[in-house]
Amino acid sequence: MTEKLKEIGLDVGHRRVGRLMRQNGISVVRTRKHKVTTDSSHKFNIAPNLLDRNFTADQPNQKWAGDITYIWTREGWSYLAVILDLHSRRVIGWAVSNRMKRDLAIRALNMAIAFRAPPKGCIHHTDRGSQYCSHDYQKILRQHGFEASMSGKGNCYDNAAVETFFKTIKAELIWRDTWDTRRQAEMAIFEYINGFYNPRRRHSALGWKSPVAFERKVA
């Protein structure tokens, strides 16, 4: 908030902005209870943790990270799978479904591949859920020359960058409304990712730039 005000010419500090927010009833949306979405009770092979909690990258398409989260609607649960480029935290692939199956994760991955055409050697990091360990998903990774990486068992900190994105989209979008249908939620997610998060939302880790602006600066 402070950085945005400074950009439009208002010379303010964090304390003043905080005070004005409190006076006007503007507060932070707190996170809620976590719902487990990782099914690690399977017999698929587990990849080593190549990422090792190093969520930085010098250039795009060096490190990708993916995960799945949940959204409640009056029609029932809906699931969101995303792929982030860790260089800029940009969402480069995503998909929504009413079933948390491997095809959901594969659709997000295929979108990211079509958008970025990554070079061989890009690290692809996820948890060790059955969707990501499945033969079909791993086959796509091998075909495109990815180096598969997976978190330790039950350790959300190993994929903290994507977990942070999920907390952000829930606080700024999902928890602020009631979703009558899965389609309604999906369209809102589309608008949030493509209309706000990627091109406009600022990140302290990116020098208060948006993912798109950060990539332009590096290019």
3-class state of residue 1 by DSSP: coil
pLDDT in tens, the chain (219 residues): 565 555 555 566 667 666 666 667 665 555 554 455 555 555 779 999 999 999 999 999 999 999 999 999 999 999 999 999 999 999 999 999 999 999 999 999 999 999 999 999 999 999 999 999 999 999 999 999 999 999 988 788 999 999 999 999 999 999 999 999 999 999 999 999 999 999 999 998 899 999 999 999 876
Identify any residues that bridge with 126 across adjacent strands, giving them in sequence order.
Answer: 150
Domain ranges of the chain: 1-28, 63-218
Fold of 63-218: Nucleotidyltransferase; domain 5 (3.30.420)
Structure tokens at 206: 């990116």
- 125 neighbors 109 (Cβ within 8 angstroms): no
